[in-house]
Amino acid sequence: MENKVKLHDKTFKLFIPNEQIEKAIDAVAERLNQDYAQATDEDPVILLCTLNGAVIFAAELLKRVHFPLELKACKLSSYEGTQSTGVVKTEVPLPAHLEGKRVIIVEDIVDTGNTIVAMSQLLKERKVKDARVCTMLLKKEVYKKDVKLDYVAMEIPNRFIVGFGLDYDELGRNIKDIYVLDE
């Protein structure tokens, strides 16, 4: 574990060590296992991973959950560099055949909530039976939307972070700890 990392033109300092991230994921997985214990092979839960940032979080959840599920992916994006553009773009559309299914949206981080609102609307249009949100990180002071966040592993302040799936202009996703911009 390094105290600082440099990505492109920015330096980041250690913010959340991997051990703390893993414990938070354990707690979320435990709640998911309790809430979805009744899932069956005939009615599996859909884990809908939002690419690219949530891949690491989703992979860690997959190791820990014990109910029947299908893993699907989509990509909605509103970030460029270190800022949200406020405009949500669909880069990889939602999978087909979601009608009547229970879906858990797996997000890396929720801040403005624009992506979650857009995703929730798309799932309503697809007539899913139930949609819940599971996020690794929440910037609570920024999130002001009405969509309920059902599973939150950790709350963090409104700072720009990288690591554990999160990037700065596509670099840093493979760092196992989470780093914050060193201002």
- Mention every residue, 6+ apart, whose C-beta is less than 8 A from residue 167: 52, 53, 173
pLDDT for 80 equals: 59
Compute the C-alpha angle 179/91/155, nearest 5°: 30
43 is annotated as an active-site residue: no
Is the distance from CB of 141 to CB of 166 less than 8 angstroms? no
pLDDT for 47 equals: 97
User: What is the Cα–Cα distance from 171 to 163, expressed in whole angstroms?
Assistant: 9
Q: Which residue has the tokens 């840093």?
A: 172
Is the distance from CB of 180 to CB of 139 less than 8 angstroms? no
Residue type, 46: I
Domains of the chain, by residue range, sit at 18-156
pLDDT for 90 equals: 76
pLDDT for 167 equals: 94
pLDDT for 92 equals: 79
**CATH number 3.90.1150.10 is the correct assignment for the domain at 18-156:** no
C-alpha atoms less than 13 angstroms from C-alpha of 176 in its C-beta half-sphere: 8
- Mention every residue, 6+ apart, whose C-beta is less than 8 A from residue 5: 11, 12, 162, 163, 172, 175, 179
pLDDT digits (tens, 9 = 90+) for 59-109: 999 999 999 999 999 988 765 555 666 677 777 778 888 999 999 999 999
Spans of the chain, pLDDT less than 50: none
pLDDT for 98 equals: 94
The sheet carrying 151-155 orders its strands as 83-92, 69-80, 45-50, 102-110, 130-138, 151-155
pLDDT for 93 equals: 74
pLDDT for 101 equals: 97
Q: Choose, from 35, 41, 108, 111, the residue flagged as catalytic.
A: 111
